Structure 1
């Protein structure tokens, strides 16, 4: 059997896997990506990118491509209704998105997964990734020195071994890699199953070029409801119901007529019976040795809140700089171990938030008092913290997972306070923020000792970051504060790098 070597092998080429490959390339590490499907997603699936995701995409050089790929009307409308023609029981969003301009320079985008994956794929390849479709990972074994994965070309049937230094599992909610590693999951479990259809129909000016999502409550539909969404293409829509068995085309036509409240509608069916499983589950571990898991492989949640696709992209952003530094010999295993310590607690909150959204919006019969209280959107996406992980914890660390981004603390593990003068300096490596020039020498010495780059950016108001004029703030490549203070910079950086 032929064998090849890869510094990083990524299994799965969805939003998570392609993002990881793209961000690894940005940090100078070429990844091999294998995907069992023949190409990128052909179904609209997840839609929408929050400002923190757009900030990461801007760093990767694809922000403009995402903004250009969204529909002409980027606003988003969400309604709970009997049919898309009414009556409407409740409007959740009426075309607007929250204003986060005080916390981020980046706007929202509203690109579907089918278009997002194409953009990510193109950029990942530009940055050196080798992406192979119709290629399945069949087995995985790791030892102290690396990971051996058998992959098979599903077109030719040829199998070969890949010897990888590290593996990223982005292989979806059924994740064979997670199963091979014996990693379990916990949470509320499987909540329901259903089928989707994609169809074309002229529903009139009210639907033309708009981003619409309807949660339907209608006893005439299987399971008493369904979900209806627009897509990036004019007059193309998706519709899903809670039905396990396949539905024939005649029945789909009947259901679409019920869902739209238009008994004479003649929809053109483009695809039918795409299976969906709704669950609320989080992996017990996000990594095992040289294998790290991201995306749906580690969390599944109801699609009520758009955090599934966003968290998948941000997994890639969060993991890539760590993995790149380990591959380059600049960091130790401790930095990779922080992937679990940082992303798992946050994921558990996201899953519960979206479950609560589902109960409130579409499944009130599931309400039992255990649903999470809503977290303000700004806090949820721009105020979350890592109280443990690749940081130097302070003595009075309170372990809080969130803070108000309008009142940033600058604590290690939090987002660096938003500042228009510094926003463009983060994303490629560590940065030291300081006022006194004495930190230039300290940064140079620490960088030389640890074999990393550590530029110093002068700030005029260190108090904004919670330090005196004599102090400094170490910011990670992902824009989180790693350390602050007046002490030993080299020791702090060594701790963060797991060395």
Structure 2
């Protein structure tokens, strides 16, 4: 009796936050996709404790930001980073996460300070609403590729045929191993023990609310976080060698030493050990299979960059797969995924490693540490090769998001719209978008012409005083163009092309720019 083979356009291996985000973004772009997760149910461990505003911007695009805000509402004042002897002991250092006016000028989206176990159900629900299929308890035994797709054989005897595969199955990715892709970097910098516990933290915390707290005394050296109920926390203990087995009484001792209250009732809920590593895949693609998230890069857990970087991987890949599967783009567009995301991961892993080795975030940065500030590392990455009409390989890898932007390869700047809560980021989505200065009406007709000729959706908006807060002149300043100029923005909100001033043939130049994006020249893009 033959086994029926299921079919889909894209199969996502791994049902964590990156795999579920990939499914949601793919479905948003009209791609049939299915998630396969070998675990029978989602992990109850909180894991990632926050997601940076750039990741939230991408979830905003598919309508998830209100739910994300609600899930993290109880963490709104959990902004303190500190070093203490214990929660009830001497406070040695404190600082707050970037917020308020500095962040508001850069992004309409906040930090999502909810934990991963709260975010994942929201992303899964949205993915399924958009049409993605999500299956837990289905493990891939092996898969093969040919010129037209990927065939997966599952442990339950099922078979699945897909045009492409996205491996988002974590730091110990089995799919990456099957693809023969190696890792580079530093493995096992240390070994981490995570102790999830329940206790009444209201007394030790007082009126303080921590995003993360470093605890250092003669009995414990670790990181402490707590949830918004003030009744659950996680203590992270680092060991130079593989963490020894910690029985429950030893975990209780460590937690109480961190809290500074020896007779506080504490219940241990879970404990896990894992490697603290700084690793990147040597390549992000093998044939029709792509790596995303921790399968592609493993970074020390500092600053909320790990899972957030993975969500950005998924977003970058989803619109490209959508265009290739629908036909307007050539397969060369998919080569741009590694060209763009690998340098970002290389830099971010390096910066997280520097933060860990210099203990930055819990005190002033070490002199000469080569650190990039958090806001620049969150928003300032610049693609220097890939799906860009006029890439600039010699450009610096980051730009300051506080300064006027709009450079090719950078995130299109946020400028508030006149409608309450609106942003220019809300103008980007399923299509390419042309934004023109207040005197650039000819670009609107050029967008219609290019769309019709190339068979790709191109939206267009003129940045008039009635649309953008502060007027068209403010938009021009932020994007680095004059009143007759324009920028072409990709579906993922990255500037692909820019003309600072009016040109004689806007339709011809825009068509050429779109062709350059849709069929980019293959290149590794790594520096």
Given the superposition, is the C-alpha separation of residues 346 and 260 from structure 1 closer, same or farther in structure 2, using an over 3 Å criterion?
same
Give the alignment of 1:203-282 within 5 angstroms.
Answer: 203-205=201-203, 207=205, 210-221=209-220, 225-243=221-239, 244-272=243-271, 274-282=272-280
In structure 2, what is the equivalent of residue 329 of structure 1? Answer: 327
Q: Distance in 1 between matches of 2:102 and 2:486?
A: 31
SS where residue 102 of structure 2 aligns? coil
Alpha-carbon deviation of 1:211?
3.9
Contact 2:167–2:295 (CA under 8 A) maintained in structure 1: yes
CA distance, structure 1, for counterparts of residue 234 and residue 308 of structure 2:
20
- Distance in 2 between residues matched to 1:212 and 1:478, nearest whole Å: 29
Q: 1:212 to 1:440 in 2, by over 3 A?
A: closer
Q: CA separation of 1:337/1:137 partners in 2, compared to 1, >3 Å: closer, same or farther?
A: same
Distance 1:476-1:110 versus aligned 2 partners, 3 A rule = same
The equivalent position to 1:429 in structure 2, one of 428, 431, 438, is: 431
Aligned partners of 2:144 and 2:150 also within 8 Å? yes
Among 377, 388, 391, which residue is 1:391 paired with?
388
CA contact (8 A) 2:344 2:381 kept: yes
The one of 144, 147, 150 equivalent to 1:147 is 150
Cross-structure match for 2:409: 413
Q: Which residue of structure 2 aligns with residue 45 of structure 1?
A: 47
Partner of 2:459: 455
| Aligned counterpart, 1:116 | 119
- Per the alignment, residue 342 of structure 2 pairs with 344
Mapped pair 1:492 → 2:492: no
Per the alignment, in what secondary structure is the counterpart of residue 488 of structure 1?
A: helix
* 1:438 and 2:442 matched: yes
**Residues in 2 aligned to 1:120 and 1:130: alpha-carbon distance in whole angstroms:** 12
Aligned partners of 1:71 and 1:211 also within 8 Å:
no
What is the SS of the residue equivalent to 1:44? coil
1:382 maps onto 2:382 in alignment: no
Alignment of 1:48-63 (within 5 A): 48-63=50-65
Q: Is the 8 A contact 1:194 1:240 kept in 2?
A: yes
- Cα shift at 1:121: 0.7
The residue that corresponds to 2:299 in the other structure is 301
Partner-residue secondary structure (3-state), 1:86: coil
| Structure 2: runs of 5+ lacking an equivalent | 418-423, 465-471, 521-527
Q: Please name the residue that 2:525 is paired with.
A: none
Tell me which residue corresponds to 2:107. Answer: 104
* Mapping 1:476-487, distance limit 5 Å: 476-485=490-499, 486=503
Q: Deviation per CA, 1:68-118: give whole Å up to 9, x if none.
A: 111524132222223222233322438967731111122222110000001
| 1:125 paired residue among 125, 128, 134 | 128
- Map of 1:155 onto structure 2: none
Aligned counterparts of 1:400 and 1:99: Cα–Cα separation in 2: 23
Which has the higher mean CA deviation after the structures are superposed, 279-288 or 229-238? 229-238
- Do 1:192 and 1:277's aligned partners in 2 also have CA atoms closer than 8 Å? yes
Indicate conservation of the 8 Å contact 2:106/2:414, yes or no: yes
Structure 1 pair 490–77 and aligned structure 2 pair: CA distance change class (3 A)? same
SS of 1:22's equivalent in the other structure is helix
Deviation of 1:363 after TM superposition, in Å, equals 12
Range moving further from structure 2, 29-38 or 261-270: 261-270
Equivalent pair of 1:387/1:393 in contact (CA under 8 Å):
no
Q: Kindly provide the CA deviation profile for residues 179-227 of structure 1, in whole angstroms up to 9, marking residues without a partner as x.
A: 1111111112221113222111113345379344222223423xxx222
Q: Secondary structure of the equivalent of 1:478?
A: coil
* Secondary structure at the counterpart of residue 263 of structure 1: coil
Pair 159,245 (structure 1): closer, same or farther in 2 beyond 3 Å: farther
Alignment CA distance shift 1:98-1:296 (3 Å): farther
Q: Which residue of 2 aligns with 1:68?
A: 70
SS in 2 for 1:55: helix
1:89 is matched with: 92
Q: Residue 197 of structure 1: SS of its match in structure 2?
A: strand
Alignment length, in residue pairs?
486
Q: So what's the TM-score if we normalise by structure 1?
A: 0.91
**Cα deviations across residues 45-71 of structure 1 (Å, max 9, x unaligned)?**
112222222211111111111111115
Give 1:30's aligned residue: 32
Q: CA separation in 1, counterparts of 2:45 and 2:89?
A: 26
Q: CA deviation at 1:496?
A: 0.4
Local SS of the residue matching 2:158: strand
Q: Contact 1:47–1:309 at 8 Å: present in 2 too?
A: no
C-alpha distance in structure 2 between counterparts of 1:484 and 1:496, whole Å: 13
- Measured on the aligned residues, the alpha-carbon RMSD in Å equals 2.5
Q: Distance in 2 between matches of 1:218 and 1:79?
A: 14
In 2, distance between residues paired with 1:94 and 1:58? 21
